[in-house]
Structure 1
């Protein structure tokens, strides 16, 4: 026991932190980490101090020898001296700095798109990995949409669960209780005078308050005041009746309402008097402390105006003018506070004190009433300020004679040769020959102004020589030599300005000469120019965009994307001739791109001979192109030239034997009703293309048309074995068996199809419909649950469940759940619109239809449902607009749309007719 240490002498336990029980976090020192490196010894420290002292002594002696020059190591690079101390910043230095700046800008623009895209992707990735609290709760916020009003009203109130804390004690202190009526009555009578006499025990009367008289009665001052008000009101009413019969010159008529209103206004003014007095004292102190400060005098005068004392304001501002005679602002304030007659006198005094003040001269001119006096004032002002551009402009604006204005501008440009506006104004007033001379003089005086060159180009355009004289070409050379070339974006803005002022040739010339300025081959010039053109189109500057495309096509001669953009521009904003010219240039530049040939033939389809010539030229450039062959067949068929179309198809099958050509041949014979010929063709085609699913579908459909069900089933059965991945072929096979009354066989076909093409919404939906039509609702719901587990984002499956499998009362909740899980599915959006339509929420239904159209314009079923909706609840104008948009977009897909559009009976029908047929078939 003697060898054991006491408690305080014992070592601390491992990982012990002092004060941890009280909330301390502890800290770590080097002793906890282990022994650190030993520092320098005492001898080493003394040696280092001695060496440092020796160096400092040597440095001081060296500084004395070199006139105390600083060491170059400590020299400020922005304030250097020595070698270049006497150097001047010359023009070569300025040009070098400009070149380096342009190099830096070009390097920054290089790969700018890729860099911005990479940075955007990094930011999105960071935001995805580190979402904000708002994003984390987005799903919960959307879930609040399903909360009904009743559930919201039944939410329990939040309770204070803090317990016996300071907040709870404060809440108890602030708790209120009901007050007895006796207390309220006593408080109500406080401060009032009693009107009753109370008898005390001795039988004497006692006054209720200090308003009692000696005889024991009590005076009620409240009633006295009320009586006085009544008497005043009666007098005012009597006066008003008197004023109705008084003569026009009577001075006794009184308007009681106006009188009371004026009293109220006076009362409001009295309430602000305190503020006005406070501001008046402050401004007086400012004026007295610094009487030479004009702003204080102006503020003091404006305060008096606000207080309704214009005379005091004029006196104050007059004193201010005496103390600050050189201030323009105080004289102008004085002029504005006085009437016209006094203002002229004040303006004369102001001009005497400030003869070179342009503002005062202009203000004095505005005080005159007749043009002659105005001109006189301005000319006197020009005598004192001959180099004031503003005064010369005022003088020119006052002149009514063009010749006098021209003389004034000629004198003004001599005195102020650096004024661009004066030169341009003079050029506009001169004759064309003299205008050229004026602009040449102006260029010599203002060599860095590109506006003068644009004015010269516009002058040549007005003279009809805009395409002959290369003004803008010379301008670019001259400005580049002067290092005054504006940026490319500024030139585009100038071109758009010329387009606004209908200077079309100048606009095109500006783009032609300046669009490539500042760009080299390393930059993405084509993308940059296409973005410039799109920006101009968005601003409504079509001529500028057309010029940009024209210049870009001269650089990129064979660019398909540029030609497509140019053709799209002409289709939307140009005439038919402009569109034809653009397409002719496209087919000449890209003769092997069949798209341009087909577009040109389609645009000239109204003139069949012209369209034939276009397709003949296309055949020469693309002899074996199936698209051109099929376009020629369609042209002949649409114009009822059946024999020519059949001959073309026969030739196409020999020269371009593709499955599409054979399918078009079969479809053509079916449309004409020649089912036997079509059957022979499809038999021959399947020998060449056994893996073409559409040929198998056509064969089965032809047998169905002929009423040969077993042969049709055999065709579909052989087809699904040859092409097991074709979903439409499986669906045709299953539907044929179901129409034959064999639902079991249809079900087994769809089961095989789901094995061949797993996770396909169309196959699952068809199987569910087979069970539903057979009356097996439980089996259909079970299949739907399995399908949604595998494909939870299929709008087709959700639509089938919402509309056909669940009760009507659950549609809204199911729809909300489906919209959360499915992102941007047009079928589901149309379903939402149909449900809102059924509930008579027409505006919301229309919004959902338009959302579905924006999402996918190629879905024909959406157009049909929307058209049917507008037939019931839309206007004729709205329906016509929808039909026009549908024709422009030419939809091709959709369950109902394809069933009607691909029917041989509807082969020659236009898009509008198909739209109306599909809308009529919907239910």
Structure 2
């Protein structure tokens, strides 16, 4: 037998364990039958049980008395007294729980009172408001009705219906075709409906309804005030379902926020704002009051609570806030703003100063409400003692006294705050203000020197104390002084600081940039001070003198302008422009003799300057000294001997009607200057005036040979041929000119005009199309094309012209004339204004656009508007234009003013848009 089988047999022969249940490992449930138990017999003894437990490895049962109740006096605690001991422990624990409960009970009651306040607390603010209700308002309250909306019990008793009702119901649907006896009797036997009485009754009912709406009683009927009624309607909040849902959602969110984090002040404020938006002011006030209790150190919560409550309640709230947050300036200022009485406001502010004596803002508010200068001075004196580092308080104290007092205050302020530039500048302002008050008795030069020393000392002291004040900051202070009309202080600041942090090679461009920036800001005094300092450093620069002269002219000070010109010609005697500007200034001021003296000095400094010679000739000619002008021209031809002087001499003789003398001068001049085209033009025009067409043609032909690039010569030559009825020759001349100058817009415009004057509209249109191809950005040609279109297509043509020409002024003028032709007056005026502004930006001095504008104002404008156009044209001083130039240079018009020339050009245009 194998070992395995032998072991198996041994296992099978072994007895089963005491706790064995057959089939338990396969999920079967153990059971016991009567056969297993056998007949009734006594149970095993204690010894057998102990032996079996020992054999199975089980522990014996413990002594049942081992866990006896310690309170019993048997066993372990026999003979002791544990009951009294544990009673003391229970009493101590009960006392601890009771004290903890008593400590927590006020907070629990307070929380419950906050979450579920009593009805009397909810209506406390309304009860306080009842004190303001008048007797009339009490009487106007409606009677209390039954608002329970309960159904009234109906009587269940029934009655017999009378026969009259039954007969009436039967006849309701019937139609009577005849009148009754009473109806036939009329006034004698029956009643007739009175419509007047019905109307009066209707009016009475309507008035009663209106009285009910307006709250009037039966004793006194009043009408509705429409303004108050509409104002009340504005208070009513009409909310949609979506808005109501949003408010509920926000209310839930903020309610959760304040419960989870009651110390967060912004949560209470937001929750109160939601209720305020929903129109529930009582709930909003209740929430913000709870916020004040939970966040007593939050300034925002107290201020919001004061805002949500009425004035009297807000005062109480802010008083509590001031006790919780004693150093809050905002709370004290808000409390002061709630006071309507000045004395009460003073009391609040002085209490605030007791709590926060170092607040500059509180001192300022306290001083501002003082009506007495002496009281304000006392307050400021105390303020600077408490807060000696406040510049504003020192400056305010200096303004309240005399000049000596102000000077002593500022001296103390400089000692207290040696790093403040405002006090130094205030000192300079004080010195200049005293000089302005006593003008005439104080030498302005000495005042300026004193202010210069003060500002220099300020810059030095600030540097000594380590204050790094930049150049731009000093310039900004100078500009502020300029705004305050303190020119001496402004100049002193510029002198002392303009060269800070500027390298020598960068001085001129930097200072010129400063001048341009100040001029753009209209700070002319500061700009003039920079220019004066620049000229002091670089006195021989003519461009700097021109800039300074421009500034002086802009400021309009005649004496300083003349002094500047005198200095300029002293440093730059070869600069002709200063001599001419100085002489013109003298001339415009009416001092012709002084102008002559200036020009004499200019001759000595610049003997060969043609500009000075021509200015002298113009001065003498326009003042009626023709012989002196002719003598000056003769001397100028010998001394200067320039082409312009010879041309001016010929023009002068032409203007005086001495045409033969002018031709002789031109012959001599052409021999000296054969390539000066204007000499040929004048010669040809004089011959044309004398009726010598062949001589005029030969003059122009000679000029074309000498100056083939001059388009004006070609145009004049073609007009001579056209005047001689030789249009073909005129066209050929212009074609030849365009071969030499293919992109000259004036030649193309003249070609179009020749075709139109010849009656060939189609040819003119064809030439204009070719011209636009050759000169696609020409404003002159595009303006011509607009008016050569049919009326229906002019607007579209004008829009394309503006795009192609880049908003050329002539095209804009054409658009303005289009609006004029359509009687759109305001539109036309706007476009004329835009035209002249664009011309000024592009430096295009075309006088024709001014003439068109004046024509428009003559037809639709007032006298004042016409004068505005003339004044603006005089300032712009145009010199060119297709119509303007011939009229301005015509003989006899040389002495006319710009306004006269403008009126002449307007007359020539005829006012026809």
> Could you state the TM-score of these two structures normalised by the residue count of structure 2?
0.68
CA contact (8 A) 2:210 2:223 kept: no
Classify 1:253/1:549 alpha carbon distance in 2 versus 1 (closer, same or farther; 3 Å): closer
Taking the aligned partners of 1:825 and 1:256, their CA distance within structure 2 comes to 61
Q: How does 1:195-274 map to 2 (within 5 A)?
A: 239-240=208-209, 248=217, 250=219, 268=238
Q: 1:266 to 1:694 in 2, by over 3 A?
A: closer
Q: CA deviation at 1:656?
A: 0.6
| Deviation of the 1:281 alpha carbon | 3.8
Cross-structure match for 2:744: 760
Q: Is residue 2:773 matched to residue 1:789?
A: yes
Whether contact under 8 Å (1:457, 1:466) holds in the other structure is no
Confirm whether residue 323 of structure 1 aligns to residue 306 of structure 2. Answer: no
Cα distance 1:468–1:737, how it changes in 2: closer, same or farther (>3 A)? same
Residue of structure 1 in register with 2:429 after alignment: 458
The question of whether the paired residues in 2 share the 8 Å contact of 1:618 and 1:628 is answered with: yes
1:286 matched to 2:257? The reply is yes
Quick check: 1:349 aligned with 2:326?
Answer: no
For residues 410-463 of structure 1, what are the alpha-carbon distances to aligned partners after superposition, in whole Å with 9 as ceiling and x for unaligned? 332232222221222222234433433433333343333211111121122223
| Structure 1 residue 912: Cα displacement | 1.3
Q: 3-state SS of the aligned residue for 2:449?
A: coil
* 1:66 corresponds to: none
SS at structure 2 position matched to 1:623: coil
Q: CA offset at residue 315 of structure 1?
A: 4.3
* Paired position in structure 1 for 2:901: 914
Contact 2:214/2:223 (<8 A) preserved: no
State whether residues 214 and 224 of structure 2, in contact with CA within 8 Å, keep that contact through their aligned partners in structure 1.
Answer: no
Report what 1:631 is aligned to: 615
Stretch of structure 1 that moved more, 532-541 or 677-686:
532-541
Take 1:477 and 1:283, find their aligned partners in 2: how far apart are those partners?
A: 60
- Structure of larger gyration radius: 2
Q: Secondary structure at the residue paired with 1:906?
A: coil
Correspondences of 1:340-489 after superposition (within 5 Å): 340-366=311-337, 371-464=342-435, 465-469=447-451, 470-489=453-472
2:482 to 475, 478, 499: 499
Contact kept, 8 Å, 2:211 with 2:217, in 1: the verdict is no
Q: How far apart are residue 278 of structure 1 and its match?
A: 4.3
Name the CA distance, whole Å, in 2 between partners of 1:340 and 1:262.
21
- Which residue among 587, 599, 624 is the counterpart of 1:615? 599
**1:801-856 Cα deviation digits (max 9, x unpaired):** 5545x655554454444444333444444344434433434444444434443343
Secondary structure of the structure 1 residue equivalent to 2:746: helix
Tell me, in whole angstroms, the C-alpha distance in 2 between the residues paired with 1:433 and 1:395: 25
Whether the 8 Å CA contact 1:239–1:254 is kept in 2: the answer is no
**Equivalent-residue separation in structure 1 for 2:239 and 2:363 (angstroms):** 48
| Aligned-partner Cα distance in 2 for 1:430–1:903 | 70
- Given that 2:432 and 2:486 are in contact with CA atoms closer than 8 Å, whether structure 1 keeps it comes out as yes
The runs of 5 or more residues in structure 1 that have no matched partner are: 1-232
After TM superposition, give the deviation of residue 240 of structure 1 in Å.
2.1
CA–CA separation in structure 1 for the residues paired with 2:400 and 2:225: 65
Residues 588-612 of structure 1 show CA distances to partners (whole Å, capped at 9, x for unaligned) of 3332221222122222212211211
Question: Within 1, Cα distance between the matches of 2:800 and 2:209?
Answer: 73
Q: CA deviation at 1:312?
A: 4.6
State the SS of the aligned residue for 2:674: coil
Distance 1:754 1:292 in 2: 90
Q: 2:498 matched to 1:529?
A: no
How far apart are the structure 2 equivalents of 1:256 and 1:416?
Answer: 56
Contact 1:243 1:253 in 2 (8 A): no
**Count of residues in correspondence between the two structures:** 689
| Aligned pairs for 1:564-643 within 5 A | 564-605=546-587, 606-643=590-627
1:896 aligns with 2:883: yes
Give the Cα separation in 1 of the matches to 2:608 and 2:508: 32
Aligned equivalents of 1:683, 1:259: Cα separation in 2 = 95
Higher relative contact order (CA 8 A, sep 6+): 1
| CA positional deviation for 1:282 | 3.5
Task: Structure 2: state its 5+ residue gaps.
Answer: 1-201, 436-446
8 Å contact kept, 2:367–2:379? yes
1:709 aligned residue (685, 693, 697): 693
Q: Single out whichever of 827-836 and 719-728 deviates more from structure 2.
A: 827-836
Q: 1:774 to 1:343 in 2, by over 3 A?
A: closer
Q: Distance in 2 between matches of 1:864 and 1:882?
A: 9
Distance 2:537 2:597 in 1: 30
The alpha-carbon deviation at position 635 of structure 1 amounts to 0.4
Shift of 1:647: 0.8
Cα deviation for residue 559 of structure 1 reads 3.3
Separation of aligned partners in 1, 2:882 and 2:316: 88
Q: Distance in 1 between matches of 2:886 and 2:321?
A: 89
Task: Return the alpha-carbon distance in structure 2 between the equivalents of residues 673 and 268 of structure 1.
Answer: 90
Distance 1:264 1:809, change over 3 A: closer
Counterpart of 1:558 in structure 2 is: 540
> Aligned-pair distance for 1:654?
0.8
> Residues 510-547 of structure 1, C-alpha deviation per residue, up to 9 Å, x if partnerless?
22222222222243x43443343333334333322322
Indicate conservation of the 8 Å contact 1:900/1:906, yes or no. yes
Native 8 Å contact 1:240 1:255 kept in 2? no
The partner residue of 1:671 within 649, 655, 672 is 655
Please, which of 842, 847, 850 is the counterpart of residue 863 of structure 1? 850
In structure 2, relative to structure 1, the CA distance for the partners of 1:345 and 1:801 (3 Å cut) is closer
Match for residue 510 of structure 1 among 493, 506, 512: 493
Deviation digits for residues 298-340 of structure 1 (CA, Å, limit 9, x no counterpart): 4444444445554554444444433333333333344444555
Distance 1:546 1:311, change over 3 A: same
CA positional deviation for 1:262: 9.7
For 1:759-809, what per-residue CA distance to the aligned partner results, in whole angstroms no more than 9, with x for missing partners? 4333333344334433455554554444443333334444455545x6555
Deviation at 1:707, TM superposition (A): 2.3
CA distance in 2, matches of 1:721, 1:259: 92
2:171 corresponding residue in structure 1: none
Deviates more, 1:418-427 or 1:607-616: 418-427
Q: How has the CA–CA distance of structure 1 residues 488 and 280 changed in structure 2, closer, same or farther, with 3 Å as cutoff?
A: same
Match of 2:870 among 870, 877, 883: 883
Separation of aligned partners in 1, 2:505 and 2:214 = 95
Q: 1:434 to 1:485 in 2, by over 3 A?
A: farther
Per the alignment, do residues 245 and 347 of structure 1 end up closer, same or farther by CA in structure 2, a change over 3 Å counting?
Answer: closer
Alignment of 1:662-811 (within 5 A): 662-777=646-761, 779-801=763-785, 803=787, 811=794
Change (3 A) 1:611 1:371: same
Cα RMSD for the two superposed structures: 3.7
- Give 1:185's aligned residue: none
Distance of aligned partners of 1:683 and 1:386 in 2 relative to their CA distance in 1, 3 Å threshold = same
**1:476, 1:485 within 8 Å by CA — same for their partners in 2?**
no
Post-superposition Cα deviations, 1:109-163, rounded to whole Å, max 9, x if no partner, equal xxxxxxxxxxxxxxxxxxxxxxxxxxxxxxxxxxxxxxxxxxxxxxxxxxxxxxx
Mapped to 1, the partners of 2:676 and 2:233 lie a distance apart of 97
User: Offset at 1:629?
Assistant: 0.4
CA contact (8 A) 1:460 1:466 kept: no
Q: Report the secondary structure of 1:905's partner residue.
A: coil
